[in-house]
A and B are shown apart, each in its own frame.
Chain A
Amino acid sequence: MDFRDTPEEAAFRAEVRAWLEANGQKRSRPDEVFGEGLDEAARLAAAKAWQAKKAAAGYAAITWPKAAGGRGGTAMQQVIYQQEEAAFVVPGMIFEISIGMGLPTVMTWAAPELKARFLRPGLAGEEIWCQLFSEPGAGSDTGGVRTRAVREGDEWVVNGQKVWTSGAHFCDYGILLTRTDWDKPKQEGLTMFIVDMKAPGVEVRPIHQMSGDSEFNEVFFTDVRIPDAYRLGPECGGWKVMLSTLMQERLSVGGNLPTDLHAHLIALARKCAWDARPAIEDDRVRARIADAYLQQKGVELVIARGLTAISKGKAPGPEMSITKLVAAKAMQDIAAFALELAGPEGLIGYEALGGDWRYMQRLWLGAPGARIAGGTDEILKNVIAERVLGLPGEIRTDRKVPFRELEHG
């Protein structure tokens, strides 16, 4: 057991650090974000430029095979890159779906000519991908999708609606889950496609979230035509394609709990008073700082165990579901406590209260979504109970019923 870098890992870290220092911009304060002060178009252009540089240097997809445009590196190298990049101001969520979900699905399921067409521009950030699974009537129950694809010769005609689509307003392509057979049970009548987000009949409407942001969208499809060559996996094989994508998502969402939240709490607690003493001296405050560390470091270490399994040629199991479960709730609890430190004044928005509060206030507003995205807490607890502990599955009355006969809420 050793947490230090091996000589190979240390060499890779040095190489990455040198490249980042030559090409990136170091963070000047902990909560500095990419493209502050730029409008969305300018921020997007800057993000694409960064991604192109990163891809050219071979850091866009470290673990991918070289034939697919990757580096053929190890999962550990990927983590080392992320650890080093964390000190720099880089685009946040823009390419995550492309590289974490869209392109891996293309790589696994698409025909060779499509891979040649899509992988390189995707990695270089020239094209951005979104993921179109959820619907108003199918969130956690993904098998309930009703967006319809009907075959007409060499094309499919798609009608329906998707929701919670991150970044759809700036995306070029998406992976789209549709229903192609209404007489089969729900999970057996689904088919996955690549969809051109600029095609006629695709309409994207932003969703105004509780945080005030609009990261997500509704996407409407009206007689959108997709060539059959853009099908991913077999007809009615969409469920399996989707599962391969979602396993990637749970791992990547789980890895998103920052590792410095306790340091933010400490910084804020030094500035606030509790019973007319610095809050940092109060035992209740100190206890919460310790708990924040326990959760975020715990998530980091669970991921480290998963990576060790990968590096030994074993697959990390469904037990990795705990990372998302713990991370999202921890984010909510830690941020709420940070806001409480300021008492009634903690309700004043950071625009007026001070930039120190931006990070925790935004975290607090985003946390409810994090607990839902990628599987709600309740779904993840079922996954742990059933797939890790071997407890009986939920009673399902819809398993064998043709989809068209199911009741829809």
Chain B
Amino acid sequence: MPKSVKREKPKEKFSYDPTKVLSRLEEHGKRILEEVKNGKNPYFDIPMRGRGNVYFDDKRRVIMMGDKLSRRYFLNVAHARKFMQTLLMMAYVKRLVKERKHASLREAYYANKHTIPGTRKNTFEDQRESDPIIEDLERMLGVLREEMHLTADRRGYIYGDVTIRDGEDEFNTSRLGMGGWAVPGTVEHLQFVEVNVDYALVVETAAMADRLIEEKFPRRENALIVATQGQASRGVRRLIHRLHYEEGLPIIVFTDGDPYGWYIYSTIKQGSINLAYLSDKLTTPEAKFVGMTMDDIKRYGLENVTEKLKGIPPNKKGGPTGDYKRILEEMEYPWFQRKEWQRQLKMAIKMGVRIEQQALANKSLEFVAREYLPEKINNGELLP
């Protein structure tokens, strides 16, 4: 039986290059200095964030950032503080990258927080001030936070016959015990030495990922399990992106059958408004969806293990709220404008239920690894 999922040829190459970040930082620094010397009001051009500067690129099928810029001047009462903070953070990043050290967002905040001499003001009052500056830098410099050696909390893990080189260490992620390998905050510097799997299965919940590992699904199906543990972290999304583009791995997403699960899928596939400026690096529009679908309920006789959707349905007074509202919103997303998806979403509203991955355990513990996934994946019963 021909497999419906096949590894493809790589499209991108490993591209981590710390000198790129350094030279961009220096460029900006020199430009600012020149402007001040010439009596010009120095500024940064920072691509605007938010819904207003985001659009869905139909061709590439990802959420992209528009070209609206906000100009941050030094000599502007409203900008001066942020201007200073931007420079402080740039200097900090330069040191990090140069010294090959990594810092968490919180460390970056504490490292740069101090009282401005002669005032009672701090350079940063709280982390809510420093985090957005780092996002600004990502957008302004066109580099990932991870490339600037600033990392977020790690979340998610992988398990499968993939050998990774991380600094001086080399390891196979299927030989690290049942827990697999925890994905770090930054995956830029990782290199894939050997990738002996046919596809990557991205799993929403850790419980399901653990179940699949225990049932030896990765070995049996020659798959790589990627556990996102809820909404996929940037590290995980970047890793998925790299595996797809650098290694040609097909990506199949396995989430709960509910609006949150579908949203996780949508983020991996099309990106998010918040990180639209990173869509190039974080999204995998070719990803496909295996489940859970509303059809699964009938097909596998799961009617007894569904749960009711929360909130008030659209046809009832006061509705729609809660889950119903979210589903209706998702129906409006351009990338869900496919008949397969519209059908699923409409069905969910009509049935008024959601279904979790773990509900499959109702059949048997082995059911998901032995029947559900192999059947659907090998038959190509995937949603776009």
Q: Do A and B bind each other?
A: no
**B residues apposed to A, CB below 8 Å:** none
